[in-house]
Structure 1
Amino acid sequence: MAKGVLFGTEGAEDEEREIRRRCRRTLGVTTLGLMLVLVNATSLNLALPALSGSFDVPPATADWFLVAFMLSNTASILVFSRISDMLGRRKIYLGGLACFTVISLLCAFAPNASVLIVLRVLQGVAAATTVTNTTAILTDVFPPDRLVHGLSLNITAASIAQMIGPALGGLLVTFADWHALFLVNVPIGVVAVVLGSRLLPKLPRERGRRERFDVAGAALSSSGLAVLLFGINRIGPWGAADPRVFASIALGVALLVVFVLVERRISAPLLDLQLVRRPGRGQAYGAAFFNSFCRAGVVVLVGLHQQMVEHRTALEAGFIVMPLALLMMLAAPLSGRLSLRWSARTLSSLGALLVVVGIVGLAGQLAVPQAPLVLMALCLALIGAGTGLFTAPNTGSIMAGVSRDRRAVANGIRSMLFNSAQAAGTAVALLILTSWLGSSGVASYAANADDPAVRLGFAVAALAMGLAAFAGLVLSLARGGPWRAR
């Protein structure tokens, strides 16, 4: 009997080691792919002047080097979510990552601005396969009791990528040129594809009745999201009163309404509305949207405030915003450890509360002349720590209980909401700010404007982001459930 118990213990230990090994490999590979996409997306922000000069194009055209990627990426997420669930996440993830790498090489040798914009559209589509499948693959591999910890490490890496992306972009543009921003993706992408093909587990897909791909839903969702986000993005350069902005937003909303109506009537929809209707998950989706919304607005407001009002350089403004990403990076692993004792409702709500407190404090600092940088850094650190504490448990609660054949769709909804919220939060913050600046006689972001009215405009825009953060807190609490982990 003792011998049998001994062999049973050894078998359990071997199984535990195999689970840990598979989790480490999967986390490492998917994190490398995600960091590649995020560093590429954020590093290009500082290359717009170099790209404008190289191709001799005006700012309105140079904007599309960024906007083209954002629109195509967001519009493709739901489509690839469904395709991945139907055909297999590993296959779509690796294929998309390989395409992203090849397109990066082509971007480096783009002969003119038009070709580069088209390539950026294709690159955004390819990146959607990575964004869509990373969390779903981790959910496949990690046991339920370790999923939040795995997600927290993945989110930590994403925070690092978002923090080093602008610095890497400035470094490469300064000491090389804009071509290096795309060339550096190629060796990293090759390594990520090779490692992924060797290390990502080949999990069997659940066998059930064969489902047809929802072509109508794919066309309506992608076009609706693209048109809506295009309208929101153009609020800044065109103005909210421009009829083109109104027409784009109205058409985008109409297409998405038709999309939802179509999805309710078909048997194999692109967007499974049952995922959103489940008690607790819909609130978690909403909380994720508002967290991304307010954070995107805060970053752009602080960056502009430091340059326009405090007369600092873009590099200095970037360092001032860094505590947000740094604390997010540090708090994410902590949330994974705390999830063993506390529920997603507790941790995400506490994180959302810290974000609200940080934004309200930041609004006060933006209104004060020559506010101490220590206090502003503290407010940004609270926002970052709150986001780090919020994200992994909230994402884990979204993915919990989702069947394997719907996990990419569940994460795709979250990713789509995240991207849309970033665009909307930035547009709303700038809309409020530009309205205030216009009434104060300030016509350009390049102007030096440190009078009290301008400071008050920054504070009002920040408070609007605080209202969004509070909405996220309310939704996080409203999901229900226990306060301690079961």
Structure 2
Amino acid sequence: MEGTTTPPVRPAAAPRAPAGTAPRPYAVLAVTSLALALVLINGTSINVALPDLSRDFAAPAGLADWFLLAFLLANTASILVFGRISDLVGRRRIYLVGMTAFMVLSLAATVAPDAGTFIAVRALQGVSAATIVANSSALVADAFPEHRLAYGLSLNLTAASVANTVGPTIGGLLVSVAGWEAVFLVNVPFGLAALLLGLRVLPGPRAATGRRERFDARGALLSAAALATLLYGVNRLSTAGPADPVVWAMLGLGVVLWAVFGLLERRLQDPLVDLALVRDKARACAYGAAFFQSFGRAGVTVLVVLQQQIVAGRSAAEAGLTGMVMALAMVVVTPVSGRLTRVLTARTLTALGGGLSVAGTVGLALTPPTAALPATMAWLVLVGAGIGTFVTPNTTAIMRGVAPERRAVANSVRSMLYNSAAALGTSVVLLLVSASGIAGYDVQDSGPRVSAAFTVALLVCAGADALALAFGIARGGPWRVRDGAAG
């Protein structure tokens, strides 16, 4: 109820399995990992298809950016909304509806008649994907006991991290063999498998026994509008330049909308986001670290595949395979990091992971794009190892100690920050590349201005990784686990 300053009341019920049907942890993990990997692969595989899409739709660079950003923006703007809805009506129901919509929209993307329609379909895909992203870690946290939570999350996040990075590789192979349409058609059989497994494995909600909470519709609209205007302002900066008053109007409006959203949430009994989640210093630092680490990772993922095609003149398949080593490093390191949480705190592991990412990204920036591929791949291994070391302890620090009825919201805040940073990172690095004067992403240009633009963009990503490192250390606490506390 508005006008009160009492903290949000927590309902007695949570969207978990019905009485007597405990979730099967590894079955739930398998389903959520498959669905999350499918969504994230689709989100990043289109990076490699960007030159082909630009050519087929006759889209200049500024318009083609929205082939990537429409999905990210809509996904990010929807995550908080679906996280809250999932806490209220049940994670399983939201997951199944979202997966069905994602498959249908994948088919629609292949028959889009023009760039505008394609962008609209991508935006709707982003909304459907939000139902899966918002629920993934929360479903795992529901299914795994506290002492196994870090390990369960590490496996789920391994799938997510690998999907994010291997997407360009898969996209490159599909585009080279069957055209960009294959990037979307492949979603249908795997999406159907994820849907059928979800019907069989995911637990339904248990009957509510406490006060029924209200959905904060005004907060949902404000948060979505704030994210949309901010990200639109950033993208418009790349096409219209800093002299355009609309750019600063959008950025300013986004900040104002966020301020209004924060004030509204403090006054509501049933807010969209429980602000108590970010009042804890350690969790707030973990959220900040997640934001900047995602900024750097998204930027590197986009830059590497574009640089290899535009500057080095390599094929889409070669560009995608270049990033594969980063994914392999993450596959190896992420589960190891999950096990290390037994002896090393989140502070230690995020600091180590952040340091590795900084070193690897700086190395990429200083390596000529025309250098032999092993030199580039060596730095990508370092970046992948840093990401793998960082993500599990940081996510566990966010989810640990959150009440079951707030887990989807806690994960949604993390996912919203993660995706906001990914969209922002993608926008910023594309802005820097576009500012070099490049005619489009479907042309080859190894001139000094273009090469310098990629170098500067990679150094910006390294700066974001350094900020993630700083937040990881700022959370405070010990460097080693003491008395079973993971920090």
Class of the TM-score when normalised by the shorter of the 2 chains = 0.7 to 0.9
Task: Find the counterpart in structure 2 of residue 383 from structure 1.
Answer: 383
Do 2:48 and 2:316's aligned partners in 1 also have CA atoms closer than 8 Å?
Answer: no
Partners of 1:84 and 1:294 lie apart in 2 by 29
The change in CA–CA distance for 1:336 and 1:374 in structure 2 (over 3 A counts) is same
| Matched-pair contact (CA < 8 Å) for 2:313–2:444 | no
* 2:465 maps to which of 465, 469, 477: 469
Deviation at 1:385, TM superposition (A): 0.3
Provide the residue aligned with 1:14 in structure 2: none
Q: Deviations over 1:64-112 (max 9, x none)?
A: 4333222211110011111111111122112211222233233344455
- Larger gyration radius, structure 1 or structure 2: 1
1:390 is displaced (CA, Å) by 0.5
Q: Which has the higher helix share?
A: 1
Contiguous gaps of at least 5 residues in structure 1: 1-17
Give distance in 1, aligned partners of 2:131 and 2:261: 21
2:35 equivalent among 27, 33, 36: 33
Cα pair 1:206 1:405 within 8 Å, conserved: no
Q: Which whole-Å deviations, capped at 9, do the CAs of 1:322-365 have from their partners, x for residues lacking one?
A: 32222122211111221222222222221112112222333333
Q: Which stretch has the larger CA shift, 105-114 or 276-285?
A: 105-114
**Corresponding residue for 2:429?**
429
What's 1:406 paired with? 406
SS in 2 for 1:374: helix
- Let me know the Cα RMSD of the aligned residues: 2.7
Deviations 1:206-244 (A, max 9, x none): 643222111111111001111211222233333333333
Aligned-pair CA distance for 1:290: 0.8
Give 2:374's aligned residue: 374
The equivalent position to 1:448 in structure 2, one of 437, 442, 445, is 445
Distance 1:180 1:462 in 2: 30
Shift of 1:454: 6.0
Question: How far apart, in 1, do the equivalents of 2:53 and 2:453 lie?
Answer: 32
What's the counterpart of residue 333 of structure 2? 331
In 2, are the aligned partners of 1:297 and 1:429 still within 8 Å (CA)? yes
Partner of 2:221: 219
Aligned residues: 461
Residue deviations 1:406-447 (CA, integer Å, cap 9, x gap): 111111011111111112223333444555x36xxx766646
1:176 is aligned to 178
Q: In the alignment, is the contact (CA less than 8 A) between 2:337 and 2:393 conserved in 1?
A: yes
2:41 counterpart SS class: helix
- Structure 1 residues 254, 353: closer, same or farther in 2, change over 3 A? same
Q: 1:280 pairs with 282, 303, 317, which one?
A: 282
Q: Secondary structure at the match of 1:264?
A: helix
Q: Which residue of 1 aligns with 2:477?
A: 481
Greater shift, 454-463 or 81-90, is seen at: 454-463
Shift in Å at residue 274 of structure 1? 0.9
1:276 is paired with a residue whose SS is helix
**Equivalent runs, 1:224-373 vs 2, <5 Å:** 224-366=226-368, 371=371, 373=373
Distance 1:38 1:183 in 2: 15
1:42 to 27, 44, 48: 44
Instruction: Give the 3 Å change call, closer, same or farther, for CA 482–260 of structure 1 in structure 2.
Output: same
Displacement of 1:370: 5.5
2:100 match: 98
2:80 maps to 1:78: yes
Contact 1:55–1:113 (8 Å) recurs in 2: yes
Give 1:400 deviation, angstroms: 0.4
Residues 48, 305 of structure 2: 8 Å contact kept: no
Compare 302-311 and 269-278 and name the one that shifted more: 302-311
- Name the CA shift for 1:173/1:469 in 2 (closer, same or farther; >3 Å): closer
CA distance in 1 between partners of 2:287 and 2:316 (Å)? 34
The 1:41/1:205 distance shift into structure 2, 3 A limit, reads: farther
For 2:38, give the aligned amino acid. L
In 2, the alpha carbon distance for the partners of 1:459 and 1:44 equals 22
Paired residues for 1:99-178 under 5 Å: 99-178=101-180
**CA separation of 1:477 and 1:444: change in aligned 2, threshold 3 A:** same
8 Å CA contact 2:354, 2:469 repeated in 1 = yes
How far 1:469 sits from its partner (Å)? 1.4
Partners of 2:57 and 2:371 in 1: CA distance: 40
Are residues 412 and 234 of structure 1, via their aligned partners in 2, closer, same or farther at CA, if it must alter by over 3 Å?
A: same
Amino acid at match of 1:448: D
> Per-residue deviation at 1:114?
4.1
CA shift digits 1:443-465 (9 cap, x unpaired): 666463454x7655544443332
Alignment deviations for residues 300-328 of structure 1 (CA, whole Å, 9 cap, x no partner)? 34344444554444443333333222212
Secondary structure at the residue paired with 2:323? helix
Percent of residue pairs identical: 53
Runs of 4+ in 1 over 6 A off after TM superposition: 442-445
Unaligned runs of 5+ in 2: 1-20
Structure 1 distance, partners of 2:71, 2:27, is: 29
Q: d(CA) in 2 for partners of 1:87 and 1:260?
A: 24
Structure 1 residues 342-351 or 206-215, which shifts more? 206-215
What is aligned with 1:190?
Answer: 192
Name the CA shift for 1:244/1:380 in 2 (closer, same or farther; >3 Å): same
Q: Counterparts of 1:169 and 1:457 in 2: how far apart (Å)?
A: 24
Relative to 1, partners in 2 of residues 1:48 and 1:417: Cα closer, same or farther, differing over 3 Å?
A: same
Q: Quote the Cα distance in structure 2 between the aligned partners of 1:343 and 1:421.
A: 25
**Residue aligned with 2:267, SS:** coil
300 and 167 in structure 1: CA distance in 2 versus 1, 3 angstrom threshold: closer
